[in-house]
Amino acid sequence: MEVSIKVLHKGIADSIQDSGRYGFQHFGVQPNGCMDLLSATLANYILQNDLDNPVIELHFPASKIQFLNNAIICISGAHFVPILNEKSIPFNTPILVAENDVLSMLQPIEGTIAYIGVKGRFNEPNWLNSHSYNSKSIATNDILHFSTPNYDLQKTLQQLIKDFDKSIVEKVQNILFANNEPIRFLPGPEWDNLNENSLQAILNKPFTISVQRNRMGYYLNGPKLETSNTKSYLSSAVTRGTLQLLPNGNIIVLMADHQTIGGYANLGQIILVDLPRFAQMKNDQPFTFSLTNLDTTQSLYRKLYAPFKY
């Protein structure tokens, strides 16, 4: 059985994403993938899909889409007030949509990135082991194809609602939108090059995310940082969450579409557990940084993703 989705009106930067395209950065290929992998994982968990199943990533103003077949979907991540045929629908739960139903997003209430998961599998050729879009976005009149085994929609919907653990939804929502703890990071190779005033500033002063933000990187507003001596750095590998110090003293945090190498000072690495929350932050939301260590990082990651099993 096939589920087709038509893009009636494209959003600002919407795309198909999964966990990313890894193993090819030494060839200069960006990894891409979901900006908030935690929310995408939650949508697939609720639908009992493979947790790596591709999803539709939406940024506000988001795409308006039409379902050309009956389907079961789940909307996760940011609360954009989803509207199905002009009626509000819940998110973080399985939803039955009918042929020709139209889904749109009314306004951004909480967060900055939403996801639509579809019960089934994205039915398009992948590239380098991933369906994640690379340097492209969804366009008006695109048709997105998903395939799924034949099943009774109503029975499947009721079973999905019965099976998933609602406490996991609450936990994810609390992590993303009710957590004011500092954003934790591991020190990078140039961390010790910061002068004493800058070391104190990055750990004690608030930052916000600039309007200059996209899938490649988030520019930060905050205290100007300086190194103890002027020097140039050899280009080296970077990844999502890398904190680079720009020549003007500001920080850019690399995100899902980051370049594969960079020549700016590498101050540190935001841990994977905190990256989804960071990705969902709005521009006017102040936050602080704090240092952590590798053992703590690994333990937190295992604990966070352990509940996602069927």
Question: pLDDT tens digit string along 234-250?
Answer: 888 999 999 999 999 99
Q: Residue 148 — very low, low, confident or very high, per pLDDT cuts 50/70/90?
A: confident
pLDDT at residue 206, as a whole number: 98
The residue to which tokens 């389907």 are assigned: 71
Distance between CA atoms of residues 10 and 62, nearest Å: 7
Strands 242-245 and 289-291: unpaired
- pLDDT > 90? residue 19: yes
Statement: residue 264 has pLDDT above 90: yes
The pLDDT of residue 77 is: 98
Is a pLDDT exceeding 90 seen at residue 255?
Answer: yes
Cβ contact 240:255 at 8 Å: yes
Per-residue pLDDT tens digits for 40-74: 999 999 999 999 999 999 999 999 999 999 999 99
Asked if residue 310 has pLDDT above 80, the reply is no
Strands 242-245 and 251-254: antiparallel
Q: What is the pLDDT of residue 309?
A: 78
- Model confidence at 233: pLDDT above 90: no
- For the stretch 95-123, pLDDT in tens is 999 999 999 999 999 999 999 999 999 99
pLDDT at 48: 96
Q: What is the mean pLDDT of residues 4-10?
A: 97
pLDDT score for 208: 98
pLDDT tops 90 at residue 282: yes
pLDDT band of residue 149 (cuts 50, 70, 90) is: confident
pLDDT at res. 119: 96
The pLDDT tens digits for 153-197 are 999 999 999 999 999 999 999 999 999 999 999 999 999 999 999
pTM comes to 0.96
Average pLDDT, whole number, for the chain?
95
Give one DSSP letter per residue of 40-84, joined into a string.
HHHHHHHHT--TT--EEEEESSPPEEEESS-EEEEEEEEE--EEE
